Structure 1
Amino acid sequence: MSRLVYRLTHAAAAAGTLAASGLGGLAFAAMGLPAAWISGALVVAIVLAVAGVRVEVPEWVRFLAFIVLGASMGTVLTPETFASAGTWPISMACLGLSVLGTMAGATLFLHLVCGWSRETAFWSSAPGAFATVIAMAADTRADLRQVAFAQALRLFLLVVALPNVLGGLGLAGGGVPEPPHVSSAIDVLLLLAVCAATGLLATWVRVPGGLIIGALAGSAALHASGVSNAVLPQGLLIPAFVVLGASVGVRFIGTSVVTIRAFFFAALGAFVVAVVISTGFAVLAAYLTGEDMGKLITAFAPGALEAMTALGFALGYDPAFMSAHHLFRFAGLSVALPVAARLLFAAAREKDADNTR
């Protein structure tokens, strides 16, 4: 009986989270906001989490949503997408410089202006890779509360504010394109089955953002080879966007109003510094490559790989470009962060150890 009650409690929490998040997305969509279903769901999920309401997104629901998103992204890739890939090394070089600049700027701001410890400021400034950053920071003397809050706030602000800022500046894309035709249920199910397999394979071999990236690759391969021309109906995409927004929102579980008051302005300032620097490099990349400015700003945005790739797709930008750049950033961070942390902080630790002897 206790196990049944446990399962029912979790099911009720998940159903309530997704229903409330869906209403948030609907409200944002009714206001005509860009990426409304993602950002509206995110806002509601965060409000519930901070209010102490039990919020959950089951792993299997998240799995289905990410497979749907990846599969849908793959259906919009065209030969023109890959023809333009020749300019990607230039924009990726600018992105690498952007990552260095945003980390340096935000770290200095948090340490020198806000008084955060050097290690806390360093890990708080890592642009994206939330779970990886938290795992790495856990083995250091960084304050994990500050790191987690700064990372979560940055992702929240990017998902909610970035689409609206780009829209206000006339830089947002045209949104998700309408399906060019209606596919049969069998074709859609076959597409999703293949994408689920490729998503699981990518996760198994530890590709960052494996579910979305693997599903995208599987869908792109099917469509590029002519094996499938199936497209997903909008009715599947909207719930997937809601799940994505709610999944980001549940990261604020355990965040209290006291925590928000204590860390908000420091994290907000670091976010502004990072966005100004990343936007500057995006403008440079746009000048050098001739690519769309809004697309590059979104590709350079220092947020989570899955969330930013899906956000770019929701705004109407090329998902192959988005995923390639965010994957490049994530892979670079995964390799460079532990090396940089050791170079920056190992000497200080050894000095402290000598002083305690």
Structure 2
Amino acid sequence: MLGALFGTAAFTLGGVRLGVPVPMKAASHGCIGLILGASIEPETFARAAQWPLTLLVLSVGMIFITTICAVYYIRVAGFDRLTATAASLTGGLTNIVAIAIQMGANPPGTVIGQLFRLTSVVVLLPLIYTRWLGASAEVATMDAMQTLSSSNLWMLPLAWPAYFLARRCHLPVPDMMGPFLLSAGFAVAGYGIVLPDWLFAAVFLFVGASIGTRFYGLKSQSLVRIGGHGAVATFILLVSSAVVAYPFSLVAGVPFHVALLAVAPGGVAEIAILATVLGVDPVFVTFHQVFRNIVLNSAAPFVLARLR
């Protein structure tokens, strides 16, 4: 994933325009959904009774994380309140940027701040967790790849009608949630879904490349000037996420490293695939990441409108 990210970023920063076809993006998210759904266990439903309380803690934590980061952008980077808040919101990158710029936020400040957040989280979290969990992370990765070595490719065509059904039902992130519910249904029924390891690797490559293509059109001067603040702001986001993760772990009854990934300020697809490979309770992590994404994307127009 990191190789694809840095490789495409190098080309786009060099002036080569690269893009990601929408069907390919939907297909990669669908594969992530299938992988996540296959990890559902009966115990998952028993734990779900605790999740409303963890969602409350996460909601308060999101306000804390966004505020701390926005204060840095205003006090140190000199951003106006609208741009500082837009760069600090940890929702969907495309949605937040589009809404913020339409309302008058500074485009380079918003785009570069959001890009550095997403890129830094994707780069740093695997390194942190590999060092932190040590052999456990390596074993989890190997087990995941071995589990996926068998082939159930007949499941892939079923992901498309599952996506359209989820879209028709207005489910959040339908390209991921539809296939997730499909494979989860098979898993609950006792039928294990396994996919080939090359498909798993392809999803990683695609996720990395899709982030790298977003650097196209950024000027080097703005990238250096604002990027430094973006790096510091990302560090603030990670530290404040760790602060939130501690009470979150106590309420949820999960280890701290699971709670940290559940509240991490990354993208839903990126965090979901990392949780799966690292063996860090992927269903729990993804559920809370989807909730965070829905809340922030829904609240962003109202929050940003008050700051114009």
Verify same fold: TM over 0.5. Answer: yes
Equivalent residue, structure 2, for 1:85: 48
Asked if 1:225 is matched to 2:225, the reply is no
Q: Structure 1 CA distance, aligned partners of 2:276 and 2:179?
A: 14
Letter in 1 for 2:96: V
Is the 1:87–1:289 Cα contact (8 Å) retained in structure 2?
Answer: yes
Q: Structure 2 CA distance, aligned partners of 1:310 and 1:182?
A: 17
TM-aligned CA deviation for residue 246 of structure 1: 0.6
Aligned CA RMSD, in angstroms, stands at: 2.1
Equivalent positions of 1:154-169 (< 5 A) are 154-169=117-132
Equivalent positions of 1:8-157 (< 5 A) are 38-157=1-120
Q: Structure 1 CA distance, aligned partners of 2:29 and 2:300?
A: 27
Q: Structure 2 CA distance, aligned partners of 1:309 and 1:181?
A: 16
Q: Structure 1 CA distance, aligned partners of 2:133 and 2:100?
A: 38
Letter in 1 for 2:52: P
Asked if 1:243 is matched to 2:210, the reply is no
- Secondary structure of 1:188's partner? coil
TM-aligned CA deviation for residue 206 of structure 1: 4.5
- 2:163 corresponds, among 178, 187, 199, to 199
Is the 2:36–2:180 Cα contact (8 Å) retained in structure 1?
Answer: yes
Is the 2:91–2:297 Cα contact (8 Å) retained in structure 1?
Answer: no
TM-aligned CA deviation for residue 148 of structure 1: 0.9
Equivalent residue, structure 2, for 1:303: 266
Q: Structure 1 CA distance, aligned partners of 2:115 and 2:98?
A: 14
- Secondary structure of 1:297's partner? helix
**Residues 164-222 of structure 1, C-alpha deviations (whole Å, 9 max, x = no match):** 012222277423624558756xx431x22222221233345553332122211111012
- Secondary structure of 1:243's partner? helix
Equivalent residue, structure 2, for 1:209: 173
- Secondary structure of 1:138's partner? helix
Asked if 1:177 is matched to 2:144, the reply is yes
Equivalent positions of 1:316-331 (< 5 A) are 316-331=279-294
Letter in 2 for 1:210: P
TM-aligned CA deviation for residue 309 of structure 1: 1.6
* TM-score, reference length from structure 2: 0.90
Q: Structure 2 CA distance, aligned partners of 1:170 and 1:317?
A: 10
Q: Structure 2 CA distance, aligned partners of 1:267 and 1:206?
A: 34
Q: 1:235 to 1:340 in 2, by over 3 A?
A: same
Is the 1:98–1:281 Cα contact (8 Å) retained in structure 2?
Answer: yes
Q: 1:180 to 1:306 in 2, by over 3 A?
A: closer
The runs of 5 or more residues in structure 2 that have no matched partner are none
Tell me the number of residue pairs that the alignment of Structure 1 and Structure 2 aligns: 304
**Residues 91-146 of structure 1, C-alpha deviations (whole Å, 9 max, x = no match):** 32221112101111111110111111111001111012111111211221211221
**Residues 136-162 of structure 1, C-alpha deviations (whole Å, 9 max, x = no match):** 112212112210111111100000111
TM-aligned CA deviation for residue 242 of structure 1: 0.6
Letter in 1 for 2:15: G
Q: Structure 2 CA distance, aligned partners of 1:149 and 1:63?
A: 25
Larger radius of gyration: 1
The runs of 5 or more residues in structure 1 that have no matched partner are 1-37, 346-357
Equivalent positions of 1:238-317 (< 5 A) are 238-317=201-280
